[in-house]
Every structure is written in structure tokens, then in C-alpha cells.
Amino acid sequence: MMRLPPLLTLCLSATVVNAQAVPGDPTAPSGSSTDGIPRPKIGSVPYGSIITACSQAGTMALTFDDGPAGYTTQILDLLDELQVKATFFIVGRSQGNRIEDAASGWPAVLQRMYNAGHQLGSHTFTHLSLNNPTRWTEVTYNEMVFRNIFGWFPTYLRPPYLECGQECVDFLGERGYHVISANVDTKDFEHDDPVGIQESRRLFSAGVSPNPAGNGYIVLAHDIHYNTVANLARFMIEEARRLGYRLVTVGECLGDPPSNWYRQAPADALRSYRRH
């Protein structure tokens, strides 16, 4: 998993219109803060509690964290080939660039991901633990990046390192997020070589019941590792299908319609923000 430098210190309060959310912070995405966006809690999926498993029996949601990165397009190619929909938990800074920057190429990758029917979720702005005091920055800056690309931001978020204590859970509930963990962790970030990735295959197989009628799984992997793309992803898809699981997005495996996965965020409204 990635560990990136902390953000610069934030100002405590401000009001902005189509400018950096934090004056003087060069890491801030362009545009206004998303704090003022209405956040109605719609649908039946819980908000502000940690979700580890699919509620729809017989479903499996493959999830890929930490991208976009160099191997993301290869994962997308594989998913296209095998006609599978997956969920990507996106980090707002990738390889030193904000993913909203057109020159980075990431907006086009994310647009392809969205157009293909995959679900996009938040994985924070720089992958810092949300148990830290920087949680407002990590969550809000990623909302701004999504807003700048799509005009919306996700209602689904996976905390980095799966770390989210009660303060974190309460904060994300206030922000209108479904907090997604996993009940199958491939640990692929520990096994990014042709031999080691066999352990990730073993963890996947050991974690999945051969009885899909009574089970549903959220599977954790990463699209930033070569051997996940080259060795693990196809194996998981083929094994899931062999066992009779239906491969879907996280939203689908929780019975949530796509209209609930994203929150509209107009870019030109006046926003104020506060440090949490």
C-alpha cells in the first residue's frame, strides 16, 4: 500500500468561490470546498458504519485500491475482455500528480472506467490514515478532485489501511459515506512477484465458500501491482465463476442502485469550509 507525504498545514476557516479551497496550500485541488454540498442519506445501505460483506447472496465484488496507476488500464482491458464490472477506490494524487490534471492522463482513464460501468469510490486524497487529524483534508480534497472531473463525488469510501476508529466512522457518517472494508483480503501488496502472488491466490480461495447461495464477498486487491494484473485478477474471476458467484460492483452487491453511488456537486456554488 502507498504511504505518501502529509499535506501542508491548513488554514482554519475561509469562504471561497472557484478558487483553491485553502489559500496558500499548493496541494489543494482547484475550485471551492465541497463542505456546503447537501448530503441526504438515501437508500437502504447503512451510512457511518463499516460494511465488510455483500448483503446479496451469491454476489462477489472485486475491488481495486490505490489507483489510478500504470497498470490500471491493463486491469480495465482484462475486465472488458471477461465482461466483469468491478469497483475502484481512487486516490486523488497519483505518481505525484492530482488526478484532475489533464496532462497526467488520469481523467481519461477514470472516464473510461466510469463509462465501462465500473463503480468509482473514494480512497482519500493522499492515502493517509483517517484516524489522523488530517481526515477532513483527505476526504474533502478527494471530493473536490472528483467534482472537478465528473461534477460529482462518490458516496462510497474505503479508508486507507482499513483503519477507521469511531471518530473516523462518525465523521464519514456525517459526510454521507458508506464505509467499505472487505471480508476477503488478498494481501497482494505483500506478494508482488510471480512466486509470492500464489499466496494471494491461496488467500482468495481459502476465504471464499464453495456455497454461493449463503454467502457474498467484498474482495480487496490493488491495481497498482503488476502481479495482481498479470496473475491474480484473472484467477479470481475464473474461480468465482467456477464456484457460481455473480461478479458485480460493491453497490450492486449491497442492493444499492447506481443512482445512489454518486453525489452531485456543482462547481460554481459558494462554499465555506471548516477544519474537523
Give the pLDDT band (50/70/90) at residue 22.
low
Looking at residue 241, its pLDDT comes to: 99
Q: Which residue has the cell 489543494?
A: 28
pLDDT > 70: percent of the chain: 88
Digit-coded pLDDT (tens) for 53-99 = 999 999 999 999 999 999 999 999 999 999 999 999 999 998 788 99
**Catalytic residue list:** 65, 222
Burial (CB count within 10 angstroms: exposed 0-12, middle 13-18, buried 19+), residue 34: buried
- Residue 108: phi and psi, rounded to 5, are -65, -40
User: Of 6-10, 74-78, 242-246, which gets the smallest average pLDDT?
Assistant: 6-10
User: What is the rounded CA–CA span in Å between residue 180 and residue 161?
Assistant: 12
Digit-coded pLDDT (tens) for 152-162 = 999 999 999 99
Domain residue spans in the chain?
A: 61-274
Class of domain 61-274: alpha beta
pLDDT > 90: percent of the chain: 84
Give the pLDDT band (50/70/90) at residue 20.
very low
**What pTM did the predictor assign?**
0.89
Name the residue with higher pLDDT: 36 or 8: 36
Looking at residue 21, its pLDDT comes to: 56
- Residue 44: phi and psi, rounded to 5, are -100, -5
Can you tell me the mean pLDDT for 26-48? 94
Q: Which of 32, 56, 108 is nearest to 245 (CA)?
A: 56
Looking at residue 96, its pLDDT comes to: 81
Give the pLDDT band (50/70/90) at residue 274.
very low
Digit-coded pLDDT (tens) for 173-213 = 999 999 999 999 999 999 999 999 999 999 999 999 999 99
pLDDT beyond 80 at 15: no
Sequential DSSP letters for 115-152: HTT-EEEE--SS---TTSTTHHHHHHHHHHHHHHHHSE
Give the pLDDT band (50/70/90) at residue 24.
low
User: Of 83-87, 173-177, 234-238, 263-267, which gets the smallest average pLDDT?
Assistant: 263-267
User: What is the rounded CA–CA span in Å between residue 241 and residue 57?
Assistant: 14
